[in-house]
């Protein structure tokens, strides 16, 4: 499901010190391999070299071809066959493997129809024809028509309104033009925010149906040559996708917070908060064009216009549109493949590595390119095991099912095993799609230094520089662009300072959500991207093997690179003397987040004052063109007294504690971690549960499933992260009391994190 | 020729103090009508009321309809008839009028042809068909095929390369992709900079021909509904226009610096520096589409993509394109209509008011909408004259010919009468096209306060607020936009402070150039815009009466508003006791320009250091996709020591002198300007020539015709102004020695300006 190009983060670098990196740990900082003694580090490097030598791009290609040969959505025969194929492989490679099955609510389309009535009637095609030359026909049996899962059933006929990306600001613009979507069907375009928000907001504004189309501006001919000439979306290509309200909770809509096991108590369908009531349908731009051409009314604002050869109007249309969606609401099985290698000395510390295996249709890019890298790691690790290597901690490799409709397989598994995971899981390492170019890493910032060290040791297949150097270069160049956004500039500044390349924070959109945001397990998400052309076939029937080997990673060298980066992180975390987390990176990052909140408060106050002056001074009224009236914006509420001092204090105290920890850690590392075994075990146990201390069981405002107080997907952005979300989202939504309340609550959580860190430091310092 | 929407400036406002404006002079400052005694101000207001009552929108409509009824380009029968029509009118209204004729080089197309060869041949249509429902047929006799005047003759066949807007940065992008335009035909799109720079730069880079097309993104269906449904450019619409190298000098290419009078010494054609050697042709997007579709090679960078339904590639094309342009290079006549009302007491101080009358085809918007407002002023002034009013100073009303090909009529007239104008002209007030919405005022900043006072006293037809209040509101709202540019933000800040609404600086693109930038006469350019849809028919055969009354100013109330604003400025300048210039506005503005130069120096230095780090650290090399290689940017030269201190000192000294002047002026104003008549005459003479002291007869680097050291059209922007151009353009072009040299030269000119101001102050202070 992950669409890496939509994440804010990305790209990392550091050029200054690139030469001197050789004299350091490879990631711009002095010191050896994080968590290892000098001797352990040497052995580990040897192990990694042996691991690398076992990776074969031809195998990844072969597995991808086989697994993407048929439609593999949840409930399809090929999806089940893929699970069984992997089960057999894991077993053959020496893993203790099984398939864990959950029964979930997963509606599939029985009937979809869309027609424009009136003087220029049009019946939408709603299917993707075969593309000449692609050996995986898009029209083969078992391929479902394009749909958005977890919209409502309905048969509605109404005028159409165009709402751009369908985000909150778009409705404000409509309102200023006096356009009400109540009783209308809203047509929105993909992009600008998570897909599921479009019908949710349409429904909240009273619309009776919602269409989502792919404008060629965003991922069609305007972005690049369309498939099959190039990689981008052809006229009939459709982006499927979930529209469950996953900002409430992901997973089976009927079992929030608990596993969808046979005996689990399920909600009645009508009580499932994440399912929408209005019908929703994704369409191609070939089908959207006659509908958009039927719109009259004002010309759409400049930022709303796509690349179709017509004048975009906001509507409403005089002709009506009929939209029909009827689904089969039966339960379907999801097959999680779980493979374990038990730890020899620390079996109760788990390193979990996952990627999903279900696709929307064939899923070559998404998710199988990542999944075959995971398989390659598992095979190599199995071989090392057969050769006598034994993991210190326990390895759990998982290939999830049902990610696309709503992170079903990973969430149900995590919820089912929540108690054990909270006790044992040290790391969850995710990947999803994979492409060509640059390592794109996001996750818990206590893992940032580990990522940097590992990326410094893996060679980029194209440039022969290290993967880390290439991340740095990307970040520096991106931040130097004249139109670079503030986050890109900040990243470039950090990269230029010579320290670690910053990694991004995680929102949602792939299987790490339950681990990180529900259970509080330190998590990472990895993938290569930036040089491939994957945007245009995302979630369509053209996400095929042939497309991948032309426009993705033709040689599978980046599949191998992903296996190396992920494998090295896994192996180091499994074997380190001390679990390789680095808390100074987290405290530095948190300090920046708190600073951002101050800036947000200040700019909100300033913008509000300016808006009030403009309204009170009649400036908006005086700029209105009476022939095309646009009302003033709705008056924003006054900004109350915002009290961020608790956060300031918590962040400052944490900085002190992190410095103390690092000093104590450095001293212990210099002496080869010469701690009594029991105390070392206690240290590792505490480090492994550090991230959990960032959770609050009460959860975020209105969504108790999300318990991480530092990272969450934005309620109004979807996949995109909101850091310090309780405070940030309250500020953005102008809920001032809530912002102050969560500033305190978040500070309290941070104080707990600090206290746990101080305990670790004390254990390290104790002579 | 003016395309108001392309100017940087624009829009002005001030909201704070809108209520309290009543207690001031109407423009946010205390004090009475600038240049008048209290009694004189009352009489002047009465005169203005009488003037206003004489303005009749129906007349403007009637004149526009008649003058736009046939093609009126230079040399056409209807253009001559229009001149004779106006001559008769001026005479009938009591003016001393004549037609002044110049013979100029003005090539007109004899043969144009364009065809795509290869497997998908296409022959371009190169003409604009009639639009249904428009009563002025685009195909009527006398309409020339679309052309760009002052390109070369040629018959060339070559592959095609797409160069976006054809600006310097675009060639840098091509170079990074290894694309050489030598021997190729370059296709560029309109926008992003002045049209004439596109073929000039193409020629400099070795191209053998240049096409310029109108992408629908910029002024076609993407901007709004196309004509006749809406006002925007239809598929076959073409923007004509001059491509003379007017940044060298405007006017007849054969007579730089002197009038094209019968005996004038003319250059040989081959020696005319402003004429290009390669053929150039403007085309519609209907004709451009098959050419763009024939391009292969890299996908064009994101910012290069327009709104045609295709993937934009940079080329070169494998198929060749043949381009033929042959012109009739004979001399043609231009007919300037000059009407005079001699001043009763100060006949040797002239107020010159102009607008051109030639169009590219019918010219309803451009220029006739402005020209009929000028006629209305002249008629009303004639009536006042017949009723007994006598101007103190001399009024010169001019309707220029030949503006479109290169400001021919105004430039030749100004050059012919240069000596007299330098002695006598106090103000040149220009207009060109006119539309609906907001007053858009640019010019010498010593006139800013006069514009504010006059705009405060004219009522906006739509909102019934003052024209000034609406300017303020526009500026405040524009500056509050999230994506507002620095200039817009600065303007909004100035507007919010409660002082005068800032006016913009003038570059070029209309008839003020010779007056302001060659002769140093204080100038203004005025027009209404912002609510009309004129972009799409600019310089096409669809710039018709019917289009104007649908999408321009249907009621001609804004024609009347322009007459009022321009008329009041003229009348006040004609009758004021003291010529109404205000030097504090100029010194404040100059201070900001100098500050901008410091910022430019600092940012250039910072950007250069960053670029060098990225190049030296191999960051650019590491981000290259080897399958789509883009080289690093060419290494910028190191920034030398830049010495702006002379400018700082000159600006600071000027600020002091302006304050002293204003204090002395205020004291004299309070006492009714009780100066001996001879001394008042001396003061007025000096004020009238203040702007001239900003000129340097040596001119700007490489272009001696441009002698104003503060305002000039950018060498590499065309119409767009560069302020303090000798320094700013040198910095931008990285000619450090020249920047330092012109910092000194400009400071010297400013010192001269200050010395003259001090003389005036002394005369005012003398008891």
Question: How does strand B331-341 pair with strand B96-105?
Answer: antiparallel
The CA–CA distances, whole Å, from B368 to A551, B84, B540, B544, B563 equal 55, 15, 14, 10, 13
Tell me the C-alpha distance between A695 and A718, whole Å. 20
- The pLDDT value recorded for residue A719 is 83
How many helices (DSSP H) and strands (DSSP E) are in chain A? 23, 18
A167 band by pLDDT with thresholds 50, 70 and 90 = very high
Give the residue among A270, A268, A322 at the shortest CA–CA distance from A291: A322
> Which token pair is A246?
């996953």
Stretch A469-497: mean pLDDT: 94
Tell me the C-alpha distance between B368 and B356, whole Å. 8
* 3-state SS, one letter per residue, for A203-254: HHCCCCEEEEECCHHHHCCCCCCECCCCCECCCCCCCCEECCCCCCCCCCCC
Angle at B272 between CA B266 and CA B273, to 5 degrees: 145
Tell me the C-alpha distance between A150 and A612, whole Å. 41
Question: What 3-state class would DSSP assign to B524?
Answer: strand
Largest CA distance in chain B: 87
B623 and A470 within 8 Å at the Cβ level: the answer is yes
Given a contact cutoff of 8 angstroms between Cβ atoms, the answer to whether A120 and A291 are in contact is no
Give the residue among A176, A185, A206 at the shortest CA–CA distance from A298: A176
Please state, rounded to an integer, the average pLDDT across all residues of chain B. Answer: 94
Smallest CA–CA distance, residue B756 to chain A, in Å, is 40
Shortest CB distance from B221 goes to which of A226, A310, A611? A310
**Torsional class of A12: left (φ above 0), alpha (ψ -120 to 50), beta (otherwise):** beta
A113 band by pLDDT with thresholds 50, 70 and 90 = very high
B489: buried, middle or exposed (CB in 10 Å: 19+, 13-18, 0-12)? middle
Contacts of B299 in chain A (CB under 8 A): 224-225, 230
φ, ψ at B211 (rounded to 5°): -110, 145
Contacts of A529 in chain B (CB under 8 A): none
- The pLDDT value recorded for residue B233 is 97
Is the minimum CB–CB distance between B337 and chain A shorter than 8 Å? no
A31 band by pLDDT with thresholds 50, 70 and 90 = low
A617 and B473 within 8 Å at the Cβ level: the answer is yes
DSSP string, B473-520: HHHHHHHHSTT--HHHHHHHHHHHTTSPPPPBPP-SSSTHHIIIIIT-
Residue B236: other Cβ atoms inside 10 A: 21
Stretch A617-631: mean pLDDT: 94
Strand partners, B396: B340, B352
Angle at A538 between CA A536 and CA A540, to 5 degrees: 100
- The pLDDT value recorded for residue B31 is 63
Q: What is the CATH class of A108-328?
A: alpha beta
Smallest CA–CA distance, residue A478 to chain B, in Å, is 10
Is the minimum CB–CB distance between A622 and chain B shorter than 8 Å? yes
Question: For the domain B4-55+68-103+332-531+546-581, what is the CATH code?
Answer: 3.40.630.10
Structural fold of domain B584-765:
Transcription Elongation Factor S-II; Chain A (1.20.930)
Is the minimum CB–CB distance between B14 and chain A shorter than 8 Å? no
Smallest CA–CA distance, residue A531 to chain B, in Å, is 6
State how far Cα B680 lies from the chain centre.
34
A653 Cβ neighbours under 8 A, 6+ residues apart: A751, A754
- The pLDDT value recorded for residue B14 is 28
Angle at A397 between CA A393 and CA A400, to 5 degrees: 145
Least confident of A25-39, A65-79, A246-260, B559-573: A25-39
Stretch B175-185: mean pLDDT: 97
* B-contacting residues in A 16-45 (Cβ below 8 Å): 16, 18
Stretch B426-447: mean pLDDT: 98
Is the minimum CB–CB distance between A463 and chain B shorter than 8 Å? yes
Smallest CA–CA distance, residue B484 to chain A, in Å, is 13
Per-residue pLDDT tens digits for B227-271: 999 999 999 999 999 999 999 999 999 999 999 999 999 999 999
Find the residue in B nearest to A438 (Cα).
Answer: B623
B1 band by pLDDT with thresholds 50, 70 and 90 = low
Residue B8 has pLDDT above 50, yes or no: no
Shortest CB distance from B619 goes to which of A15, A308, A438? A15
Question: How does strand B185-189 pair with strand B209-213?
Answer: parallel
Tell me the C-alpha distance between B433 and B686, whole Å. 33
Residue A651 has pLDDT above 70, yes or no: yes
DSSP state, B608? H
Give the residue among A513, A576, A560 at the shortest CA–CA distance from A712: A513
Contacts of B230 in chain A (CB under 8 A): 299, 311
Angle at B359 between CA B357 and CA B363, to 5 degrees: 95
Least confident of A447-451, A480-484, B69-73: A480-484
Smallest CA–CA distance, residue A495 to chain B, in Å, is 12
- The pLDDT value recorded for residue B767 is 82
Smallest CA–CA distance, residue B648 to chain A, in Å, is 28
Contacts of B221 in chain A (CB under 8 A): 309-311
Per-residue pLDDT tens digits for B454-499: 999 999 999 999 999 999 999 999 999 989 999 999 999 999 988 8
Is the minimum CB–CB distance between A610 and chain B shorter than 8 Å? yes
Tell me the C-alpha distance between A215 and A123, whole Å. 19
Is the minimum CB–CB distance between A296 and chain B shorter than 8 Å? no
Tell me the C-alpha distance between B97 and B91, whole Å. 6
Residue A12 has pLDDT above 70, yes or no: no
C-alpha dihedral (B673, B675, B679, B684), degrees to nearest 10: 10
Residue B696 has pLDDT above 80, yes or no: yes
Strand partners, B712: B722
Shortest CB distance from A476 goes to which of B299, B465, B614? B614
Tell me the C-alpha distance between B220 and B288, whole Å. 13
Shortest CB distance from A613 goes to which of B15, B225, B469? B15
Is the minimum CB–CB distance between A462 and chain B shorter than 8 Å? yes
Q: Which helix (H) or strand (E) holds B523?
A: strand B523-530
Angle at A630 between CA A626 and CA A634, to 5 degrees: 140
Tell me the C-alpha distance between A385 and A391, whole Å. 8
Is the minimum CB–CB distance between A403 and chain B shorter than 8 Å? no
> Which token pair is A113?
């129809």
Residue A150 vs residue A2, higher pLDDT: A150
Strand partners, A442: A504, A525
- The pLDDT value recorded for residue A4 is 36
CA atoms within 13 A on the CB side of A530: 25
Residue A344: other Cβ atoms inside 10 A: 14
Is the minimum CB–CB distance between A480 and chain B shorter than 8 Å? yes
Smallest CA–CA distance, residue B543 to chain A, in Å, is 21
Given a contact cutoff of 8 angstroms between Cβ atoms, the answer to whether A184 and A707 are in contact is no
- The pLDDT value recorded for residue A103 is 97
Angle at B631 between CA B627 and CA B636, to 5 degrees: 170
> Which token pair is B363?
């010219």
Contacts of B493 in chain A (CB under 8 A): none
Question: What 3-state class would DSSP assign to B50?
Answer: helix
Residue B4 has pLDDT above 50, yes or no: no
Q: Which helix (H) or strand (E) holds B324?
A: strand B320-328
Tell me the C-alpha distance between A673 and A680, whole Å. 8
Among A227, A535, A623, pick the best mutation site for testing chain B contact (most B Cβ within 10 A): A623
Give the residue among B430, B433, B409, B411 at the shortest CA–CA distance from B421: B411
**With pLDDT > 90 as the criterion, what percentage of chain A qualifies?**
94
Stretch A267-286: mean pLDDT: 97
Residue A43 has pLDDT above 80, yes or no: yes
DSSP string, B422-442: HHHEEEEEEE----SEEEEEE
Least confident of B16-30, B201-215, B275-289, B476-490: B16-30
Given a contact cutoff of 8 angstroms between Cβ atoms, the answer to whether A179 and A271 are in contact is no
- Which regions of chain B carry the CATH code 1.20.930.40? 584-765
Architecture, CATH, for domain A4-105+332-581: 3-Layer(aba) Sandwich (3.40)
Residue B84 has pLDDT above 60, yes or no: yes
Per-residue pLDDT tens digits for A518-529: 999 999 999 999
Contacts of B621 in chain A (CB under 8 A): 463, 473
Residue B19 has pLDDT above 90, yes or no: no
Among B477, B489, B619, B629, pick the best mutation site for testing chain A contact (most A Cβ within 10 A): B619
Residue B640: other Cβ atoms inside 10 A: 13
Contacts of A610 in chain B (CB under 8 A): 480
Per-residue pLDDT tens digits for B355-376: 999 999 999 999 999 999 999 9
B429 band by pLDDT with thresholds 50, 70 and 90 = very high
pTM for the full predicted model: 0.94
Residue B9 has pLDDT above 50, yes or no: no
Stretch A337-345: mean pLDDT: 98
B532 band by pLDDT with thresholds 50, 70 and 90 = confident
Smallest CA–CA distance, residue B524 to chain A, in Å, is 24
Helix A583-616 and helix A645-670, axial crossing angle in degrees, nearest 10: 160
Given a contact cutoff of 8 angstroms between Cβ atoms, the answer to whether A20 and A26 are in contact is no
- The pLDDT value recorded for residue A229 is 95
CA atoms within 13 A on the CB side of A191: 17
Contacts of B477 in chain A (CB under 8 A): 614, 619-620, 623
Tell me the C-alpha distance between B690 and B583, whole Å. 9
The CA–CA distances, whole Å, from A121 to A113, A124, A128, A318 equal 14, 10, 21, 12
- Residue at token pair 């640019």: B442
Contacts of A309 in chain B (CB under 8 A): 216, 221, 307-309
Residue A389 vs residue B24, higher pLDDT: A389
Smallest CA–CA distance, residue A226 to chain B, in Å, is 8
Tell me the C-alpha distance between B281 and A483, whole Å. 33
Stretch A176-205: mean pLDDT: 97
- Which regions of chain B carry the CATH code 3.50.30.30? 108-328
Shortest CB distance from B623 goes to which of A221, A474, A628? A474
A754 Cβ neighbours under 8 A, 6+ residues apart: A650, A653, A654, A657
Cis peptide before B228 (omega within 30 of 0): yes
Give the residue among A461, A466, A682, A416 at the shortest CA–CA distance from A561: A461
- The pLDDT value recorded for residue A13 is 30
Angle at A512 between CA A507 and CA A515, to 5 degrees: 110
Size of interface A-B (CB pairs under 8 A): 138
């Amino acid at each position: 499901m992950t669409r890496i190009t939509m994440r804010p983060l990305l790209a990392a670098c550091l050029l200054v010190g690139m030469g001197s990196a050789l004299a350091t740990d490879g990631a711009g900082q002095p010191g050896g391999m994080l968590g290892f003694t000098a001797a352990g580090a040497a052995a580990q490097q040897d192990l990694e070299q042996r691991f690398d030598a076992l990776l074969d791009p031809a195998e990844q290609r072969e597995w991808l071809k086989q697994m993407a040969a048929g439609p593999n959505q949840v409930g399809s025969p090929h999806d089940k066959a893929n699970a069984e194929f992997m089960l057999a492989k894991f077993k053959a490679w020496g893993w203790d493997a099984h398939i864990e099955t959950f029964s979930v609510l997963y509606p599939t389309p029985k009937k979809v129809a869309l027609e424009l009535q009136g003087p220029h009637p049009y019946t939408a095609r709603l299917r993707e024809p075969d593309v000449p030359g692609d050996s995986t026909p898009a029209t083969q049996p078992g391929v479902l028509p394009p749909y958005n899962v977890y919209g409502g059933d309905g048969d509605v006929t109404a005028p159409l309104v165009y709402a751009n990306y369908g985000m909150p600001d778009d409705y404000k613009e409509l309102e200023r033009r006096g356009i009400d979507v109540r009783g209308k069907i809203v047509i929105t375009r993909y992009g600008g925010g998570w897909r599921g928000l479009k019908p949710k907001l349409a429904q909240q504004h009273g619309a009776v149906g919602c269409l989502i189309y792919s404008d060629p501006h965003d991922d069609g001919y305007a972005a690049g040559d369309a498939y099959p000439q190039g990689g981008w979306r052809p006229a009939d290509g459709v982006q499927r996708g979930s529209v469950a309200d996953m900002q409430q909770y992901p997973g089976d809509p009927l079992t929030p917070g608990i596993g969808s096991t046979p005996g689990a108590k399920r909600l009645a369908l009508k009580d499932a908060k994440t399912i929408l009531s209005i019908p929703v349908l994704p369409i191609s731009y070939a089908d959207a064009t006659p509908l958009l051409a039927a719109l009259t009314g004002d010309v759409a604002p400049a930022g709303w216009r796509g690349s179709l050869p017509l004048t975009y109007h906001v509507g409403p249309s005089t002709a009506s549109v009929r939209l029909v969606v009827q689904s089969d609401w039966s339960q379907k099985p999801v097959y999680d493949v779980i493979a374990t290698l038990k730890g020899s000395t620390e079996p109760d510390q788990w390193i979990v590595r996952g990627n999903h295996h279900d696709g929307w249709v064939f899923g070559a890019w998404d998710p199988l390119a990542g999944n075959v890298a995971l398989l390659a790691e598992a095979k190599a690790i199995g071989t090392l095991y057969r050769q006598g290597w034994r993991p210190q901690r326990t390895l759990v490799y998982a290939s999830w099912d049902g990610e696309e409709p709503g992170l079903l397989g990973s969430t149900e598994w995590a919820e089912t095993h929540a108690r054990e995971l909270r006790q044992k899981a040290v790391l969850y390492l995710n990947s999803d799609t994979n492409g060509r170019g640059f390592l794109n890493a996001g996750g818990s910032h206590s893992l940032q230094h580990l990522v940097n060290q590992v990326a410094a040791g893996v060679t980029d297949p194209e440039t022969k520089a290290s993967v880390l150097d290439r991340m740095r270069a990307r970040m520096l160049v991106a931040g130097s662009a004249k139109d670079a956004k503030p986050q890109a500039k900040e990243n470039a500044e950090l990269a230029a300072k010579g320290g670690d390349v910053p990694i991004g924070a995680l929102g949602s959109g792939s299987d790490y959500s339950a681990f990180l945001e529900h259970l509080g397990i330190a998590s990472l998400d990895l993938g290569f991207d930036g040089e491939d052309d994957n945007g245009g076939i995302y979630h369509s029937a053209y996400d095929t093997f042939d497309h991948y080997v032309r426009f993705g990673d033709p040689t599978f060298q980046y599949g191998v690179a992903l296996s190396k980066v992920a494998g090295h992180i896994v192996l180091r975390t499994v074997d380190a003397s001390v679990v390789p987390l680095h808390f100074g990176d987290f405290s530095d990052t948190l300090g920046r987040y708190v600073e951002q909140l101050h800036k947000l408060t200040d700019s909100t106050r300033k913008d509000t004052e300016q808006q009030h002056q403009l309204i009170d001074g009649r400036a908006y009224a005086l700029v209105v063109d009476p022939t095309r009236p646009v009302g003033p914006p709705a008056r924003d509420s006054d900004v109350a007294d915002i009290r961020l001092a608790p956060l300031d204090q918590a962040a400052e105290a944490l900085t002190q504690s992190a410095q103390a920890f690092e000093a104590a850690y450095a001293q212990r590392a210099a002496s080869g971690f010469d701690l009594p075994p029991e105390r070392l075990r206690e240290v590792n146990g505490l480090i492994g549960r550090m991230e959990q201390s960032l959770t609050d069981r009460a959860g975020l405002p209105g969504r108790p499933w999300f318990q991480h107080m530092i990272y969450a997907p934005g309620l109004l952005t979807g996949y995109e992260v909101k850091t310090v979300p309780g405070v940030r989202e309250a500020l953005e939504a102008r809920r001032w009391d809530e912002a102050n309340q969560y500033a305190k609550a978040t500070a309290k959580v941070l104080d707990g994190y600090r206290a746990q860190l101080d305990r670790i430091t004390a254990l390290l310092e104790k002579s």
